[in-house]
Structure 1
Amino acid sequence: MTEGSGEGPIDILLVEDNPGDVRLVQEAFKRGTLRTDLRVVRDGEAALEYLHQRGEYADAPRPDFVLLDLNLPKVNGMAVLDEVKSDPSLRRIPVVILTGSEAEEDIARGYELHSNAYLTKPVDPDEFIELVRSFEEFWFRLAHLPPSGETQ
């Protein structure tokens, strides 16, 4: 959903195992001007269960957007990205990698697997919050997200 549609908040799935980074993302969206519904899962396996609406996530809403860390327990972020972008019912969901890695091979692989952007987490908390706010401005005010709902 887009904010201008009047249909409700933008559903964002944050896939992040670091509690400090989760808090910073939550704080950044609280400071933002858009209505967002931020849901958090802490590992790659839970992310896939959530996105496929299986198990405890059977009634979870399909997110409008995914923020994905790479270094995750159980299933790493690249494997999550690969599965999302390989699945016709999920591939239109924008996925932005938000990670601590600046490794060229990670950046290249992320784009090879069709991530929509690759962002490196700043170490400074204020810079981290500003990065998320800039992300919010671009993706939810300037860019057009694909229509909500499942795709074929």
Structure 2
Amino acid sequence: MMGRPPKYQDKYAKQAEKLCLLGATDQEIADFFEVDVRTVYRWKNDHDAFCQALKAGKETADDRVERSLFQKATGYEQEEVKIFMPAGAEAPVYAPFRAKYAPDTTAAIFWLKNRRPDEWRDKKEIEAKTFNVTISGDDGEL
């Protein structure tokens, strides 16, 4: 970016929050406002409303992802509609149904490794004890 960045405006806080709700990173927010990412960092330091808006938007987005991961790990059901077009019909037929999705093993393992790392980490720590033993014999053999 060339030249001086635009002066901060109060409306940027709400715009940045909406971008964060959609999953935007600080770099993407900088791109939106056509400033360097360091300007976004400065705005967060200098304008509390802007900083809080980014935190709130990111937290809400992260919560949604967390709920989705939990549902994927444990399985879930949701209402869906199948659309059929019978031969000779003038209009499609809409058939609502309740779809069931089985738990996903990979999502469950990921969740457990992060929530219960002592029980689910890949590396197990094993405590080993050593003993000093001296063996002696008359014929020099062990």
Q: TM-score range by the shorter chain?
A: under 0.3
Which has the higher relative contact order, 1 or 2, with Cα contacts under 8 A spaced 6 or more apart?
1
Task: Please report the TM-score for the alignment, with normalisation by the length of structure 1.
Answer: 0.22
Task: Kindly name which structure, 1 or 2, has the bigger radius of gyration based on alpha carbons.
Answer: 2
